[in-house]
């Protein structure tokens, strides 16, 4: 999830009741560093608040370095692969924000049990990614979720260093996972984290990779913050509003005003003129916009006026809006009093977290000063390098068509303005993505990069279209071929 308190408040209401469960005896652990797998064991038969048995797992806190007095720790939750399929693969999932917990992914997107919107029930997930591989959800960077420590980084190099330090400690604790094929996946602002994390892993020496057991293979990012807000929000906003005028409930005068804003800033039909396959050359982005140009905010405000329950993450949601059992939206000073993780008695202790710590789905200021000073991966050679150097040769970028917080045409423009493996952009138009015999979106794959646009999905693809996300993850892991995505 890309966290903005202002946009989070649009169309979301706090859930007034959460799953209740009969008190189940648990064995609280003292909050001390644990060094062996048994100290992190989570018996899947008796997880507080979960009314059915799930597979056993491992969760808790590990430091982000081997320093003797290291006080910074990430909270993690690892579910082993459910069968032989994918037992030699390890998928890591990260949520974005910056400052949002990856437990959102575990509990509402791709984990074995879920807390659906608009419900007080816990349900099994037939499309859990644990059916495809080992999956590790990590709350990061420092300051997020149930982790420990005070944020002390200013950029993505700090994110990558923290992540690497944690991963080294994780593999020391769980040596059976060393050398498994590692794929790093995530969504939203994790689309900025992950290229930097991946680039850092790729540059490690062969000797260091062997010693640590980190066998990085590739990355997959959903609705990602891998380009600038200019490209992902402002430039595509007007044509997005025109394409989805009826869904958004926008009147003709709003569309006229947006068109005029685009004309005055040289952005009229910018997407249709520049989103070409193959591209005609480097896409020239505007060097300067009018100080009062903000088509994106104008669009969001107009959509909110038209639909008080407008949801920036999934534009088809209507009133009465969305209730979230994880208590979203959060506020640092006034956390939601009603969310599963905080309210289920014994839950935090059961997963070896600090029971006294209040969990928030998202927090502010995980970067010192509140600003990430690193450039977007698509604005540097970083994205190209990760695509070219990833051993799997299956870098995946996907984007939900109904996402308004980051717009799919923005991702497409960023890709078409990137050069990798000797050519700029995708040379051929996208073709139909097929899931269970039906069109699920559009897709194209060339020279180590696959780009997919997902129909009927907003910002959280595994939540909105779990079947599609599941099939694409099979592709990322090399369990099916690209051709299998076309039929």
Indicate which residues carry an active-site annotation. 188, 403, 459
- C-alpha to C-alpha distance for 67 and 440, rounded to whole angstroms: 48
* 234 within 8 A of 417, measured Cβ to Cβ: no
Residue 175 preceded by cis peptide, ω within 30: no
Q: For residue 366, give both structure tokens.
A: 């995980």
Cα pseudo-dihedral 124, 128, 133, 134, rounded to 10: -60
Q: What are the strands, taking DSSP E only, across 188-265?
A: 215-222
Instruction: Please report how many Cα atoms fall inside a 13 Å half-sphere around the Cα of residue 389, on the Cβ side.
Output: 15
- C-alpha to C-alpha distance for 426 and 433, rounded to whole angstroms: 16
* 164 within 8 A of 117, measured Cβ to Cβ: no
End-to-end Cα spacing for the chain: 30
Radius of gyration, alpha carbons of the chain: 22
β-sheet bridge partners, residue 419: 424
3-state secondary structure of 13: strand
- C-alpha to C-alpha distance for 193 and 157, rounded to whole angstroms: 9
Cα pseudo-dihedral 221, 424, 217, 101, rounded to 10: -20
Sheet of strand 73-79: strand arrangement: 41-42, 57-63, 73-79, 134-138, 89-94, 181-187, 215-222, 395-400, 449-454, 438-446, 431-435
């Amino acid at each position: 999830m890309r966290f903005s308190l202002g946009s989070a408040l649009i169309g979301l209401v706090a859930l007034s009741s959460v799953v209740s469960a009969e008190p189940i005896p648990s064995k609280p652990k003292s909050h001390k560093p644990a060094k062996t797998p048994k100290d992190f064991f989570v018996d899947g038969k008796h997880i507080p608040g979960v009314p059915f048995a799930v597979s056993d797992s491992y969760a808790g806190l590990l430091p982000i370095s081997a320093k003797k007095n290291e006080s910074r720790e990430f909270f993690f939750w690892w579910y082993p692969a459910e069968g032989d399929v994918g037992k030699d693969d390890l998928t890591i999932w990260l949520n974005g924000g910056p400052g949002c917990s990856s437990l959102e992914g575990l509990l509402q997107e791709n984990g074995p049990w879920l807390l659906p919107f608009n419900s007080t029930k816990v349900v099994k997930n037939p499309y859990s990614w644990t059916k495809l591989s080992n999956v590790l959800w990590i709350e990061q960077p420092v300051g997020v979720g149930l982790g420990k420590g005070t944020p002390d980084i200013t950029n993505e190099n700090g994110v990558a260093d923290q992540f690497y330090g944690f991963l080294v400690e994780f593999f020391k604790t769980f040596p059976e996972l060393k050398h498994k094929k590692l794929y790093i996946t995530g969504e939203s602002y994790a689309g900025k984290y992950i290229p930097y994390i991946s680039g850092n892993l790729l540059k490690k020496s062969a000797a260091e990779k062997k010693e640590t057991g980190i066998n990085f293979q590739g990355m997959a990012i959903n609705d990602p913050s891998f380009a600038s807000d200019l490209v992902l929000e402002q430039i595509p906003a007007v044509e997005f509003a025109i394409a989805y005028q009826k869904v958004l409930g926008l009147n003709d005068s709003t569309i006229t005003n947006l068109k005029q804003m685009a004309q005055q800033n040289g952005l009229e039909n910018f997407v249709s003129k520049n989103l070409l396959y193959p591209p005609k050359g480097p896409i020239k982005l505007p060097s300067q916009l009018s100080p009062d140009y903000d088509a994106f905010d104008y669009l969001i405000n107009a959509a909110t006026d038209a639909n008080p329950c407008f949801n920036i993450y999934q534009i088809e949601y209507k009133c009465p809006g969305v209730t979230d059992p994880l208590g979203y939206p959060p506020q640092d000073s006034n956390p939601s009093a009603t969310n599963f993780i905080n309210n289920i008695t014994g839950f935090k202790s059961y997963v070896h977290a600090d029971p006294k710590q209040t969990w928030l789905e998202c927090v502010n200021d995980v970067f010192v000063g509140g600003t990430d000073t690193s450039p977007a991966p698509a604005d540097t050679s970083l994205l190209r390098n990760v695509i070219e150097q990833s051993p799997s040769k299956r870098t995946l970028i996907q984007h939900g068509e109904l996402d308004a917080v980051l717009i799919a045409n923005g991702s497409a423009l960023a890709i078409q303005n990137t050069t990798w493996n000797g050519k700029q952009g995708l040379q051929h138009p996208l073709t139909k993505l097929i899931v269970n015999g039906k069109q699920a979106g559009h897709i194209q794959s060339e020279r180590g990069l696959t780009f997919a646009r997902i129909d009927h999905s907003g910002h959280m693809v595994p939540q909105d279209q779990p079947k599609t996300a599941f099939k694409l993850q099979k592709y990322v892991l090399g369990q099916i071929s690209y051709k299998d995505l076309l039929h």
